[in-house]
Amino acid sequence: MTAIKHALQRDIFTPNDERLLSIVNVCKAGKKKKNCFLCATVTTERPVQVKVVKVKKSDKGDFYKRQIAWALRDLAVVDAKDAIKENPEFDLHFEKIYKWVASSTAEKNAFISCIWKLNQRYLRKKIDFVNVSSQLLEESVPSGENQSVTGGDEEAVDEYQELNAREEQDIEIMMEGCEYAISNAEAFAERLSRELQVLDGANIQSIMASEKQVNILMKLLDEALKEVDQIELKLSSYEEMLQSVKEQMDQISESNHLIHLSNTNNVKLLSEIEFLVNHMDLAKGHIKALQEGDLSSSRGIEACTNAADALLQCMNVALRPGHDMLLAVEQQQQRFSDLRENFARRLASHLNNVFVQQGHDQSSTLAQHSVELTLPNHHPFHRDLLRYAKLMEWLKSTDYRKYEGLTKNYMDYLSRLYEREIKDFFEVAKIKMTGTTKESKKFGQRRLSLVVGLHGSSGKLTGSTSSLNKLSVQSSGNRRSQSSSLLDMGNMSASDLDVADRTKFDKIFEQVLSELEPLCLAEQDFISKFFKLQQHQSMPGTVTEGEDTDGGTLSRQHNAGTPLPVSSEKDMIRQMMIKIFRCIEPELNNLIALGDKIDSFNSLYMLVKMSHHVWTAQNVDPASFLSTTLGNVLVTVKRNFDKCISNQIRQMEEVKISKKSKVGILPFVAEFEEFAGLAESIFKNAERRGDLDKAYTKLIRGVFVNVEKVANESQKTPRDVVMMENFHHIFATLSRLKISCLEAEKKEAKQKYTDHLQSYVIYSLGQPLEKLNHFFEGVEARVAQGIREEEVSYQLAFNKQELRKVIKEYPGKEVKKGLDNLYKKVDKHLCEEENLLQVVWHSMQDEFIRQYKHFEGLIARCYPGSGVTMEFTIQDILDYCSSIAQSH
């Protein structure tokens, strides 16, 4: 603490001619412990000033700085808090109470003691020392009389006077004149005393001699005192005048302050008034536009739009605190509310009239579209209404109830209008679809009655006219020659009609979708712009209706006619579209049902077209009304397609063949060829190729199973011939169409065709040389039983004589006759459509030669050296076969 005291004396108090007497380390009570020092100081110059100084350590370094100083005369109370117990807290009452906590009780007591001493020495005023130990004050009393350390030092400083240079010189001369002074100080002191007495006597005599001058001086002093009294009187009057001036200046200052305050308030008031006027004042032109503006002209709409925006800005201005309590503001707000309500009512009424008028105007244009397969264009209506888009946005933000009412009215009027237009449009489409198809139906009915009359029991017919074509070739044998030409003509006409009808249906269906798609997109875009609804892109991975699930079955997530809860503006757009175009999905389903009724193969066209349009719509917005509706319709189309495939398979299972005529190419095999050819042309580069591949797999399995079933049931035609011809036809069809998903079935068909061809050839060749075949079968049986080949000739039934006897029964002429009969029999078994006669005959020729070589080998091994040979050669066989083939 001593070092700090010295540092404070050196750095702070010495430069200010002050002396530090006491110091205490303190901090403020009840706050953060920020330490400082309270110092008791006195000035070195007179008059002496006593102060209490607060010194604080600087935040920027280790040096101390003077923070605040109080004059000791301003101190009223010193409160030590507790006179008995040790307590470091104490209070100093200056202009306010300062509460301190000393670092130690000893420092606090020392500082209070120093304050008491300074008060007793310099001030002599009444400072109350509260809760201070009486012992502490009693200890300080003798220190005042006997000069304590602090008081004694100060007294010594006050009495001591330093010698000046002249006095030092005189003392030195005196001491030089009295050399003995050093050795005899008493004698020197006595001398000095005597000389002092001489000087005092001289001074007294001089004073007494100058009494006259003293009287003159006293008189002058009296006159000076009178002058001083006059000066004091003048100073008093001046002081009174200055006091009056001071009071006047104080009044002027107070008046200036009030004027400044008034000006400040006026400026603020003017600012508030300007704010209200600038932000809550609606121009007369805007008010007139809102009350009387023409909502039917472009200029009037623009004026109303600007006025509505200005009104909205005035109503939405952010009022400052207290503005809403002003009567003028309240009245202006009420006026704005009335303007808004009236204009909103006028706008809603006008737009409702526009909606109604549009319905009447658009209805008048329906007649010109009743012949052409086109939908009326709503672009002019949308263009006219879009002029009100900003006003609709204003209405949405200011009066949502009227906005909702307009939305509902728009949906009601437009839904009725679109319902009339779309129904008329679909009626035209149905008429165009059934125009030539009715003739086709009449022709098909005539041809059906003809076929049934010729064929007897021909089984069930398919829904397509192509089924009639295929079944019509299966007429009974006894009437075939009578009706073949008529049936050929019927087939050609029906085929042409099928192609024309399907092509026409495809074009009409595509045109229907192409007309509906831009209509829906245009209306959805208009709704978004006019009603100020945002269209958001949906997130990836959304499952939509129309996606193919397991086994080709599709499920709808919801019914398009049931409103969904509106959770966003996007949902609101969808709900409005559903309400406006509620008739599209039923009409499309009816059109699809009609197309499927006309020709079940139309489902192929519809599946491809609908899939393409769904894919296009989903790329734009997977959750849009168009995408959802087309997806739902695609479900129906896919079901019809699956139904068509199921019908084809069922008809295969129900087919019946004639017991009196040969089978030939089965109807469902020919139908599969037609279906595959048609499907490949339709599904070329289509998005839903997977559906067709699944259908192919189902159909080809059904064809394979039912070909074998019919072959087993056939009585007129051998089983191998039915299998061979039909699988050859299937193999040729698959090879020509090159269907990648049926490669395995193509190989299987080829294998079945080859196997049954070989089986038929072997079976048929057993008949021309029947006895020879039986003889050599017996020889092979004996060898198989263990008899050596060269010993077979010793068997009674198989000796050389029996061999020659059997060989003589088959001379060359007889063999040729047998082959000729075989050729005729094969020709009777085979059908003309497949043209396999020469293939089968060539195979039989090869098989016959193989058997001939086999017989010769057995003769050479079992009858060696017998000289027995066949009566015809291989060359003879070749000539016989060639001659027979040419003759037929």
Q: What is the mean pLDDT of residues 674-691?
A: 80
* Dihedral angle of Cα 447, 448, 453, 456, to the nearest 10 degrees: 140
- What is the strand order of the sheet 89-93 is part of? 64-71, 50-57, 36-43, 18-28, 97-102, 89-93, 77-79, 128-130
Residue 532 or 447, more confident:
532
- Dist CA 700 CA 684 (whole Å): 20
Q: Is the pLDDT of residue 885 over 90?
A: no
pLDDT at 684 (0 to 100): 79
The string of pLDDT tens digits covering residues 194-253 is 888 888 888 877 777 777 777 888 889 899 999 999 999 999 999 889 988 988 998 999
Angle at 123 between CA 122 and CA 127, to 5 degrees: 135
Q: Is the pLDDT of residue 92 over 90?
A: yes
Instruction: Give the DSSP H or E segment for 129.
Output: strand 128-130
* Dihedral angle of Cα 41, 45, 49, 54, to the nearest 10 degrees: -30
pLDDT band, very low/low/confident/very high, at 185 (cuts 50, 70, 90): confident
- Dist CA 3 CA 11 (whole Å): 12
pLDDT band, very low/low/confident/very high, at 882 (cuts 50, 70, 90): confident
Instruction: Give the DSSP H or E segment for 392.
Output: helix 389-398
Q: Which residues of 414-444 are buried (b: 16+ CB within 10 A; e: fewer)?
A: bbebbbebbebbbebbbebbbeebeebeebb
Provide the mean pLDDT of the chain.
78
- Dist CA 457 CA 661 (whole Å): 12
Q: Is the pLDDT of residue 558 over 60?
A: no
Residues in the chain: 888
Q: Is the pLDDT of residue 108 over 50?
A: yes
- Dist CA 395 CA 768 (whole Å): 101
- Dist CA 340 CA 313 (whole Å): 12
Main-chain phi, psi angles of 801, to 5 degrees: -65, -40
How much of the chain exceeds pLDDT 70, in percent? 82
Top-ranked range on mean pLDDT: pick from 305-309, 360-364, 469-473, 669-673: 305-309
- Dist CA 786 CA 7 (whole Å): 143
Q: Supply the DSSP string of 618-685, one letter for each residue.
A: HHH-TTSHHHHHHHHHHHHHHHHHHHHHHHHHHHHHH----SSS---S-HHHHHHHHHHHHHHHHSTT
The string of pLDDT tens digits covering residues 364-408 is 555 555 567 888 888 888 888 889 888 888 888 888 898 989 999
pLDDT at 178 (0 to 100): 67
Q: Which residue, 744, 626, 758, 642, is CA-closest to 692?
A: 642
Is the Cβ–Cβ distance between 150 and 114 less than 8 Å?
yes
> 3-class SS at 22?
strand
Give the count of beta carbons closer than 10 Å to the beta carbon of residue 564.
12
Q: Is the pLDDT of residue 638 over 80?
A: yes
Which residue in this structure is represented by tokens 């092509």? 503
Residue 195 or 553, more confident:
195
Q: What is the mean pLDDT of residues 845-865?
A: 83
Q: Which residue, 805, 799, 769, is CA-closest to 863?
A: 799
- CA 807 from chain centre, in angstroms, equals 93
- Dist CA 418 CA 375 (whole Å): 10
pTM, two decimal places: 0.53
Strands 50-57 and 36-43: antiparallel
